[in-house]
Structure 1
Amino acid sequence: MTLRPRGGAPALEAELYDGTDVIDLVWLGRRRIAGIEPGRMIRAEGLISVQDGRKVMFNPRYELRGVKGE
């Protein structure tokens, strides 16, 4: 997880791996989201785009799941 400004506004970025591929999740205008932390399992839904050769989903809808290993 990374806090990285985009266009002068804060953006929270998380890398999601589903066992087959990686996608970057980006929440614009957010510095933190309660429950989203390294190792947390989530389900994300939204429009996928490609930036600099990486899959990216901006402001995805999400559902918090259990912690990895539980």
Structure 2
Amino acid sequence: MSLRDAWDRFTASQAELEADDEQLEARRRGTQPVGRCHARSRATVSGVIRAVTFAPAAAGPALVAELYDGSGSLDLVWLGRLEIPGIEPGRRLVAEGMITSADFGRTHATMFNPEYRLLAPDSAEATP
């Protein structure tokens, strides 16, 4: 680490440090940065769930998890679900699916009914 890198890390906010750590983990796993995903493209992303909400809709319930990877965030939406074991704030996962644009009343990128793999709490290994 150079002196400049050390200084930048020393003067960075906690949020900046956490964002850097999340981006490093995503690169290590070989997943795409959320901030570089494009609508109408398939993506494999990883990160930490920051929030989980239940969004009742006219067509049925939906479980929404905000996934953050340091470069940005996107909503993972499971239609027709009230809960999914393991999908909770603070949990890390890898998700794969089609990125949609900000539509259906969503404010940012969304992945509907993604395939996902929960990661063990203190490692990058998948849970059984």
TM-score, scaled relative to structure 1: 0.88
Residue 59 of structure 1, aligned match among 100, 113, 117: 113
Relative contact order, CA 8 A, sep 6+: which one is greater?
Answer: 1
Higher strand share: 1
Distance 2:117 2:85 in 1: 12
| Unaligned segments of structure 1, at least 5 residues | none
The alignment-based identity, stated in percent, is 51
Residue 45 of structure 1, aligned match among 96, 110, 124: 96
Residue 10 of structure 1, aligned match among 54, 61, 67: 61
TM-score, scaled relative to structure 2: 0.50
User: SS at 1:13's partner residue?
Assistant: strand
* CA distances 1:15-64 after superposition (whole Å, capped 9, x unpaired): 00111110100000000001111100010000001125400000000000
Higher helix share: 2
Aligned equivalent of 2:86: 35
Task: Give the greater-gyration-radius structure (CA).
Answer: 2
Amino acid at match of 1:63: R
Distance 1:66 1:19 in 2: 19
Amino acid at match of 2:55: R
| Unaligned segments of structure 2, at least 5 residues | 1-51, 123-128
* CA RMSD across the alignment: 1.2
User: SS at 1:63's partner residue?
Assistant: strand
Aligned equivalent of 1:24: 75
Amino acid at match of 1:36: I
